[in-house]
Amino acid sequence: MSNLFSHSPESASDDVGVPPARSGAVVVPVPVTEAFDGFTDGIHLWWPMESHSTFGVEAHVGFEKGVLLEDAFAGESSIWGEVRSWDEPVSLVIDWLLAGHPLTPTTVRVDFTTHNESSTTVTVTHDGWAPGQAGWQQYETYCDWPLILARFARFMGGAPALV
């Protein structure tokens, strides 16, 4: 009875640590400013809506008033993330709302660096996972950045190979 109002002890299976950051990079054959614009202003043209959206291929995704938003044809909306930092054309940091849950955001950082005079390295780092099993489940579910970056590279006229 002494622990009637206390929290139950965590099980040993919950004590598995926090997943590491995930990252991936591609080189696109355009200068940094164009790469940033293609990633942000053109996201509706290259994002794989057929496999990575709430409402499907008919929906539209884009940055609007500090959020990354998906709009459905029927008028519904889903916020994917809130922009924490927009440092054009160098970086973009988003509090990524996993499955639309605002209480459990992770962090997606996109960096744009000069590869050479006519190309840019675009690096995505996804971090801030929940601790324990919940974090490992997030980590396994949100693992498609290589596919997404390859799609972006093709859109920008580059080979889909990752760095």
- Average pLDDT for residues 77-91, to the nearest whole number? 96
20-155: in CATH 3.40.1050.10: no
pTM, full prediction: 0.86
Taking only Cα atoms into account, the Rg of the chain, rounded to an integer number of angstroms, comes to 18
Cβ contacts of residue 58 below 8 Å, gap of 6+? 72, 73
Where along the chain do its domains lie? 20-155
Model confidence at 77: pLDDT above 70? yes
Asked if 33 and 119 count as a contact pair (C-beta separation under 8 A), the reply is no
Percent of the chain with pLDDT over 70: 88
pLDDT given for residue 115 in this prediction = 94
3-state SS assignment for residue 162: strand
Q: What is the mean pLDDT of the chain?
A: 89
- Average pLDDT for residues 46-56, to the nearest whole number? 94
Model confidence at 147: pLDDT above 80? yes
pLDDT given for residue 161 in this prediction = 64
pLDDT given for residue 12 in this prediction = 41
3-state SS assignment for residue 14: helix
